[in-house]
């Protein structure tokens, strides 16, 4: 999987810098080409001579070569690489990356990077647990970067035992896993709905819900990372929710009706569809033209049912198409999810319950159960990025089974 891959390895000033030699050895053994970019502090921990001997390439540290004054182009490195790995990544580098402080060659290379970026933090637990470090890691993750942590491979939901850099063989395994998945959905078209819908009451008020779009965006990134072309139909989410991946085309809508129209049009063109949006089931029967004034009396808003997007797409489903739904429940979780699986003609349904701490709306984590007509798999609490991997693995398994039986 790493054969012929071009990896930019960023090394920063941590005691774990010596482990980057082991990372280089393994990457090269597996056929990758490695270009080291090191920070000035990194050079205090490991010498460029050792690194260039291992990679058979001069190590880049300054903007200009000290030997002949040639300019090192961070832009060219950003275009050359298939992946950038920063290991070890100190709290300082993580902070600079999250905030675009481009004061050394490593950060400018990161900011110009077109390829996926993997970050293996290395620091003591107090620094790691500090809210600013945690916030910076979350920011980097929300930009689509992959955080590699001890034990989990990727960003964990708990702090215990964290901070120490993941072992070199596991870091390399994360890259291998990434590249093995990267092509698995190449050429496939996937429709994903995300976020809430807003149903207007008057020009200033609406009926909505707490969905942030995080789960749907994580799914879109995961499918895009595996090579799929994604149509992301998304309700009103915060401006911090941005798509970066070139394979994702975002279509913004506001109401359930608008989401329905877009989905109905897109669905026949799709191989797979994942309905993660929290769609309002009802909308006000009439929308006031002007702001409704307070009269002192109570008021009644009459609601009419919205289209059930999932059920409509379930009816339109053709052989070879895969339809995945979500069920957000507060009670009788499994039986409600089973009923939705059947009624909406889903291939499988992802159940998340508001009874589980850290699951559902707005959180960075989720706890899911994947239910098919004849199976049930429960997963522990994970980040929404990790949850997406489990869901998309299941999607690919179902697609594979369908292809076999055809």
Which residues of this protein are in contact with ligand PMT, per CB under 6 A?
193, 195, 211-216, 256, 275-279, 281, 306, 308-310, 325-328, 340, 352, 360-362
Nearer to ligand PMT, 93 or 141 (CB): 141
Nearest of 341, 339, 348 to residue 401 by alpha carbon: 348
Which entry of 104, 170, 209, 336 is annotated as an active-site residue? 209
Nearer to ligand PMT, 55 or 212 (CB): 212
Nearer to ligand PMT, 35 or 211 (CB): 211
Q: Name the strands in the sheet holding 6-11, side by side, starting at the edge strand that comes first in the sequence.
A: 33-38, 6-11, 83-89, 117-121, 146-147
How far apart are CB 52 and ligand PMT at their closest, in Å? Answer: 45
Reported for 249-258, long-range contacts at CB under 8 A and 24+ positions apart, including other chains, are 253/197, 254/197, 254/198, 254/200, 255/197, 255/198, 255/199, 255/200, 255/280, 255/283, 255/306, 256/197, 256/199, 256/280, 256/281, 256/283, 256/306, 256/307, 256/309, 257/283, 257/306, 257/307, 258/197
Nearer to ligand PMT, 119 or 192 (CB): 192
How far apart are CB 310 and ligand PMT at their closest, in Å? Answer: 3
Nearer to ligand PMT, 149 or 364 (CB): 364
Both structure tokens of 44: 């205090």
Residue 170 is among the residues annotated as catalytic for this protein: no
Nearer to ligand PMT, 167 or 308 (CB): 308
Contact 351, 369 (CB under 8 A): yes
Tell me the CA distances in angstroms from 345 to 178, 200, 237, 373, 381, one per residue in order.
31, 30, 28, 10, 27
DSSP of 11-75: E-SSGGGGHHHHHHHHHHHTT-EEEEEE-TTGGGTS-HHHHHHHHTSPPB-SSB-TTT-PBP-HH
Nearest of 151, 229, 162, 227 to residue 189 by alpha carbon: 229
Helix (H, G, I), strand (E, B) or coil at 366: strand
How far apart are CB 86 and ligand PMT at their closest, in Å? Answer: 27
DSSP H or E segment with residue 205: strand 205-207
Q: Which residues are catalytic?
A: 209
């Amino acid at each position: 999987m790493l054969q012929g891959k071009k990896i930019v390895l960023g090394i920063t000033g941590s005691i774990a810098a010596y482990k980057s030699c082991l990372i280089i050895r393994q990457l090269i053994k597996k056929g990758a080409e490695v270009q080291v970019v090191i920070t000035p502090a990194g050079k205090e921990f490991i010498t460029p001579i050792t690194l260039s001997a291992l990679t058979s390439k001069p190590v880049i540290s300054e903007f200009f070569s000290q030997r002949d004054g040639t300019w090192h182009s961070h832009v060219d490195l950003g275009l050359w690489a298939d992946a950038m790995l920063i290991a070890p990544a100190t709290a300082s580098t993580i902070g600079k990356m999250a905030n675009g402080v481009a004061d050394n060659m490593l950060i400018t290379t990161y900011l110009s990077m077109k390829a996926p970026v993997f970050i293996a933090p290395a620091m003591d637990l107090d620094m790691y647990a500090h809210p600013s470090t945690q916030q910076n890691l979350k920011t980097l993750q929300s930009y689509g970067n992959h955080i590699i942590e001890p034990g989990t491979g990727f960003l964990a939901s708990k702090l215990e035992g964290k901070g120490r850099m993941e072992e070199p063989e596991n870091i390399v395994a994360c890259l291998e896993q990434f590249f093995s998945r990267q092509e698995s959905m190449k050429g496939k078209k996937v429709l994903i709905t995300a976020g809430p819908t807003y149903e207007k009451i008057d020009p200033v008020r609406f009926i909505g819900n707490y969905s942030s779009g995080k789960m749907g965006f994580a799914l879109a990134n995961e499918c895009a990372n595996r090579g799929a072309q994604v149509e992301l139909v998304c309700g009103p989410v915060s401006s911090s929710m941005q798509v970066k991946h070139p394979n994702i085309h975002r279509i913004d809508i506001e109401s359930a009706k608008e989401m329905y129209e877009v989905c109905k049009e897109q669905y026949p063109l799709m191989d797979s569809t994942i309905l993660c949006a929290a769609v309002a089931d009802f909308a006000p029967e009439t929308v006031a033209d002007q702001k409704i004034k307070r009269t002192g009396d109570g008021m009644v808003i009459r609601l009419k049912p919205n289209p059930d997007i999932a059920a409509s797409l379930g009816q339109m489903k053709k052989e070879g198409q895969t339809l995945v739904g979500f069920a957000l429940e507060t009670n009788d979780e499994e039986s409600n999810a089973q009923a939705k699986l059947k009624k909406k003609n889903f291939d499988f349904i992802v159940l998340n319950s508001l009874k589980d701490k850290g699951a559902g709306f707005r959180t960075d984590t989720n706890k899911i159960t994947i239910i098919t007509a004849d199976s049930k798999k429960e997963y522990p609490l994970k980040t929404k990025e990790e949850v997406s991997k489990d869901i998309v693995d299941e999607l690919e398994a179902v697609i594979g089974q369908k292809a076999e039986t055809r």
